[in-house]
Every structure is written in C-alpha cells, then in structure tokens.
Amino acid sequence: MTLQRVYLVAGELSGDILGAGLMRELSVRHPGVEFRGIGGPRMEALGLQSRFPLETLAVMGLVEVIKHLPELIRVRRTLRQEAIAWRPDIMIGIDAPDFNIGLEKQLRDVGIKTAHYVSPSVWAWRQGRVNKIAKAVNGMLTLLPFEADFYHCHQVPVAFVGHPLADELPLVNDRQGTRQALGLPPQALVLALLPGSRGNEIRFLGDTFLSAAELLCQRHASLHIVIPAATPQRRTEIHQLLERYPALGERVTLLDGQAREAMVASDAVLLASGTAALEAMLCHRGMLVAYKMAPVTHWLAKRLVKTAWISLPNLIAQEELVPELIQEAATPDAITEQLSQLLMDDTARHALEERFTAMHATLQRNASSRAARTIDALVAGQPLDSQEGETDGR
C-alpha cells in the first residue's frame, strides 16, 4: 500500500512542527507522496501546498473566535471543497480541534479517511466532545498514554505515538556543565523559577513566587535563583518586580529564554502549570506547580475540569508525584515549606529524578515515525492497537 495524496491541516506553530516531522517520515515511507492543506514554513519546506497561511486558524479567545467566525467558516468550506475534489488517501487534522474536528467529520461523511493528531483536553473537560470526535475520525493519535486510555474507554480507535519533546530531550543531562554555561555557582543549591509565559501569569504569580524565593533564601544560605524570561516583555515585567525584592540581589540570575537550560541546571523547579511542567519532568527535575487565576475563571474551572490533578507529570503517572498549590493554597509560606523539603531531602529528590527518567523513556517513542506508521495502518484498514507492539525501527 502506497500513499499518494495526504491532506494536512495544522493550526499553529506547534502543529507545523508536528506536521513537518510526520511529513518527513511519510515521504521516506512513500516516495513521491503529495501534500496539500494548511501548514507553516516547516511543512511548506517539505512540499506542502498550503492553501492559507498558518496563522489563519490561530485564533484564541471567545471574542476573537466570534469576530473571525465568518472567515473561519469560509476557510473550512474552501478546504472541504478542495479536499473532496483532490480525493486524498487521508486527511489529518493537527491540533486546532474546534476547526479540524468539524472538517474531519465533513470529509469522513463523503468517504475520505480522517485522523486527528494531538488530542484535545477532552479527558479534562467537556468530555461529551468524545462522541463528536468518534463520528469525525477513523483514528486519534495521542502524545500521552493516559489520553489513549480515555479513548479506549470510549471505543474510539487510538494510538499513543509518544511525545516529540521526549524524543528531543536526552535521557541523560549534564547539570554541572549547564551551570557552567549559564554562569551559575557550581556548588550552590539552585532553584529554577518559571512564573509563566503570559502577562496574566506574571501578574497573578510574580509576587507570590518572588516572596517565596525570598523566604527560601533566608532558610538556605547557598540557594541561588535562576529565572528564564519567556519573552523580552516578560523580562521587563520580572525585572520591575525584582526591584521590590532587594534582598534577593545577586542571588538571582535573570535569563533571556533558556528555560530548558535553567531547569537542567537546577536542583528543583517552581513553575506555573502548563507545558513547562512536562518539560521539567523531561529534564528530570523535582518541582512544585503553583497556579493562580482570576476568581471567576477559577470558579468555572472547578466546575468544568474533571481531573484530580492539573500538572502533566501527575496526569501521566496517575498519582501525585508533584505538589500542586492552586489559587488560595498558593501562598509564599506554603510554597516555601514544600520546596524547602524537596531541596533538603537528597534521597527523595534523586528518587524522583529516577522516576522522571523512566517516565521520559516511556514517552520517547520516535513519535513522528510511529505517527507515520499509524497513518499507514489507518489507510490500510488495520487496527491501531497493533501499533503498540511494534519497535521504532522502520
């Protein structure tokens, strides 16, 4: 079975990265295969004929979506018509579920096989969406194992392909070498502090994190704080906050980006919930997750979210490996107590690092290659469960 035509629709930069990896593997397996749809520069460089710019679908927030709804409807209608006329072997939606799942349903209804790459957080909230997904796709490709478990329970064909970030990060990292490269004291206790990449996160968490850092410095004379600023704007905001904490002084190193290096160099990490928690796990560092949000948003989240935890390390392990302090619980004193225990307990910290290394290995599955094999299985009408026993070789 040889693929000749693949239709791909990616909705943002992360989707372009995933799509490019998948295209590269499909091209190796099926020389001469053609690609059309929507993608970014990485996908276009590999031969995708992109009908619209990648940012067309990168619309966030209810107001923005409503504002752009007529244009999004027009784009989806155009893609549907073009895909039906082109008759690809399969259409693959990459993330962007609110747009892609509707398109996938329309194309599956006319006999085109469909797949969705990257599960929406249907396991956490609006779980009823799984019924719509079941009607829209021939198969779901997930990055994380607990996501695949959810789809199995709902009888949706699924393959856990692994996480590309786990493939990218090494199973062995160099703490001391990274400290030297960043100019950090080699023998100090080092805490990486990541208050978030969005302005609202700095506003809600910045003072709390820095107050906790101040308290920790009072307890641990050798403690050094390293803060990677996600953007120049975040660096300006963090620098302004630091002016209110003169006691931290020379015990803080503020970096431009380099979040991964900061985590590798650290003994522990204090961070806002999100992808950073997964990255800290893949750097094999113990952490504390703290998060604050607007009161109304928190009130809604408590009623909508159906998971016991919010951080990906805990969700992957299905147990609390990482302390989570949310909203009122995220006080400087509570953060200080938890992190002080982690920093002082070498045995527990090393055991957690070993556990995270093992979890990393579970996610390190050559995701793009496995995703390509899954697409082949879907087109050939093979059950996706058969992919679980395969090795990562071609």
pLDDT for 298 equals 54
Residue-wise pLDDT for 344-353, tens only, equals: 999 999 999 9
pLDDT for 71 equals 81
d(CA 225, CA 188): 10
324's tokens: 């989570």
Q: If you count them, how many residues does the chain have?
A: 394
Q: Is the pLDDT of residue 256 over 70?
A: yes
pLDDT for 386 equals 41
pTM over 0.85: no
Domains parsed from the chain with CATH numbers: 5-162+365-386 (3.40.50.2000), 175-362 (3.40.50.2000)
Residue 187: is it exposed, middle or buried by C-beta count within 10 angstroms (0-12/13-18/19+)? exposed
Cβ atoms of 370 and 148 closer than 8 Å: no
d(CA 110, CA 101): 15
Q: Give the HSE-up count for residue 141: Cα atoms under 13 Å, Cβ half-sphere.
A: 29
Residue-wise pLDDT for 275-320, tens only, equals: 889 999 999 999 999 987 666 665 555 656 666 777 889 989 989 9
Give the closest residue to 320 by CA, choosing from 346, 350, 355: 355
Which helix (H) or strand (E) covers residue 92, if one does?
strand 90-94
Give the closest residue to 317 by CA, choosing from 272, 357, 269, 347: 357
d(CA 293, CA 296): 8
Cβ atoms of 80 and 104 closer than 8 Å: no
Which residues have CB under 8 Å from 267's CB, separation 6+? Answer: 189, 190, 191, 285, 286, 343, 349
Q: What is the mean pLDDT of residues 354-380?
A: 96
